[in-house]
Amino acid sequence: MTRERTPSSKMMKSANQQKVLHLIFSEGPISRVELAEKSGLTQQTVTNIVNRLLQDDIVKEGEPAESPVGRKRVPLTVNASSLYAIGIEVAGKYIRGALHNFHYHRLGRAERRIQKLQDGSHALELIQSVIDELLEQAPDPERLKGIGLSVQGLVDSGQGVVLRPPGLGWTPLSLRKPLESRYGLPVYTENDVNLLSLYENMNGCLAGSSNNITLKFDWGIGGAIMADNRLITGSTFVAGEFGHYKSFSGEDLYTCHCGAAGCLTTLASISGLSSNLGMSLEAFEADCFSEDPSYREIFNKVQDAIRLAVGNLITFLNPDHVMITGRYMEAFSDTLVPDLFSSIPSLVPETCRNVNLIHLREMPEETELAVGLVIKHMFDPVLQVRLHS
Ligand SMILES: [Zn+2]
């Protein structure tokens, strides 16, 4: 089967150029000599590639440094302040966008608030109007390298299709094709938790880790699995649906929106508390520590369920880090989080106890995460090869 060529594939660089670009991004400042050593390419090939990248203003030269032997070495870095990307957050009640440079400095923003998305074309129309407004704020549209979209819900990131858009149920919403043909820029779409994982693995508290899990307890529950520095998407792009682990039974058995019952998300997420107990996170938090023991009892069951689910996950996947985050965890940061951290060693085999648990208290803005997706695609040789092969 031949794949249709898209504007993003037109931007495909040769594998060698991608290798060099990746090294400058991840290890810069770096000299041409070091680039040749680390890439295994000849000096001449490196020089040709670097000249092209300098001409396109994608990399820049710094002050030459003294070298112990031979000529002075000129350090090369990515010209991050003059490369831009647009990040869009698609939520049920708003579409928010921001224009950032590759240092993540925000240069503009735009937002459309709505009562409810009516259908796919309504969503697309709003997204385009946010992008159009941001394009007007771009200092130099030529330097815009792509559009990233963060969407809560299930996303087929390979095809750029949202399988279950927020508030629209199971109505697939194709974003990449229409947006790439309208703007002539690469467009990347990803689920919000996968994006958070990519961002933290690239810049944040998971940098340096190769095998890790991100768990977000928020409106819903989402998970992302990074194995050998690759995001595991699963055969139908829904890997990491940790919220549907079966965790409750008996009087705590509630039907889940997935069609099953007893899923972790039915009590361990904000939407679950609202649907099944008819209360907000704040009210639940207050009642758990009140005189009334009934809520404390539910809280204890939730705590046990999270503990077991995370323990089983660690036993199964043997990650070096597990990062937990989200408003639900934040509300119980003095109780649930320390309990989880202290109990994990007794729940996993000795061989898995090297795992480090991290509580990420403040998440970056979704638009920033979406920009990170564009940056990741531009400089990651593995992703480039996978996307355009
Ligand atoms: Zn479920």
- Taking the centre of ligand 1 as the mean of its atom positions, its distance from the CA of residue 285, in whole angstroms, is 23
Residue 289 confidence (pLDDT): 85
Give the distance (Å) from ligand 1 centre to CA of residue 187.
30
Q: Establish if 68 belongs to a structural domain.
A: yes
Task: Mark whether 186 and 214 lie in a shared domain.
Answer: no
Between the CA of 219 and the centroid of ligand 1 the distance, in Å, is: 14
CA of 110 to the centre of ligand 1 (A): 34
Instruction: Evaluate whether residue 321 is within a structural domain.
Output: yes
What is the distance between the alpha carbons of residues 2 and 171, in angstroms, rounded to a whole number? 26
On whether both 173 and 254 belong to a single domain, the answer is no
Residues 34 and 161 in one domain: no
Query: Measured in angstroms, how far is the CA atom of residue 39 from the centroid of ligand 1?
Result: 46
Q: Residue 389 falls within a domain, yes or no?
A: no
Decide if 342 is inside a domain.
Answer: yes
Q: Which domain holds residue 258?
A: 207-359
Q: Which residues surround ligand 1, an ion (CB under 5 A)?
A: 244, 256, 258, 260, 263
Which of 49, 78, 107 terminates a domain? The answer is: 78
Distance (Å) from CA 56 to ligand 1 centroid: 49
| pLDDT tens across the length of the chain (389 residues) | 444 444 444 444 578 888 899 999 888 899 999 999 999 999 999 999 999 999 989 999 998 877 666 677 899 999 999 999 999 999 878 999 999 999 999 999 999 998 888 888 999 999 999 999 999 998 888 899 999 999 987 888 888 998 877 777 778 899 999 999 999 999 999 989 999 998 899 878 999 899 999 999 998 899 999 999 889 988 877 788 899 999 999 999 999 988 899 999 999 999 999 999 999 999 999 999 888 888 999 999 999 999 999 999 999 999 999 999 999 999 999 999 999 999 999 999 999 999 999 999 988 899 999 999 999 889 876 544 333 33
User: How far, in Å, from the CA of 300 to the mean position of ligand 1?
Assistant: 20
In this prediction, residue 237 carries a pLDDT of 76
Do 373 and 297 fall into the same domain?
A: no
Strand segments, DSSP code E, in the chain are: 59-61, 76-78, 84-90, 94-101, 106-113, 144-151, 155-156, 161-162, 173-174, 187-191, 212-217, 221-227, 230-231, 321-325, 356-359
* Residue 243 and residue 298 in one domain: yes
Please report whether residue 36 resides in a domain. Answer: yes
Which of 78, 103, 124 is the last residue in one of the domains? 78
Same domain, 119 and 190: yes
- Asked if 214 and 324 sit in the same domain, the reply is yes
d(CA 130, CA 119): 17
172 & 286 share domain: no
- Residue 15 inside a domain? The answer is yes
Looking at the domain assignment, is residue 388 inside a domain? no
Residue among 322, 81, 375 at smallest CA distance from 213: 322
Distance 96 CA to ligand 1 centre (A): 28
Q: Are residues 100 and 156 in the same domain?
A: yes
Q: Examine residue 387 and state whether it is found in any structural domain, yes or no.
A: no
Q: What is the Cα–Cα distance from 53 to 21, expressed in whole angstroms?
A: 8
Q: Is 371 left (phi over 0), alpha (psi -120 to 50) or beta?
A: alpha
Shared domain check, 253 and 159: no
Q: What CATH number is attached to the domain comprising 122? A: 3.30.420.40
CA of 169 to the centre of ligand 1 (A): 15
Do residue 284 and residue 335 come from a single domain? yes
Cα(195) to ligand 1 centroid in Å equals: 22
Which of 47, 78, 109 lies at the terminal end of a domain, its last residue?
78
* Residue 135 burial by Cβ neighbours in a 10 Å radius (0-12, 13-18, 19+): middle
Residues 284 and 160 in one domain: no
Domain count, the chain: 3
Using the mean position of ligand 1's atoms as its centre, give its distance from the Cα of residue 252 in Å: 14
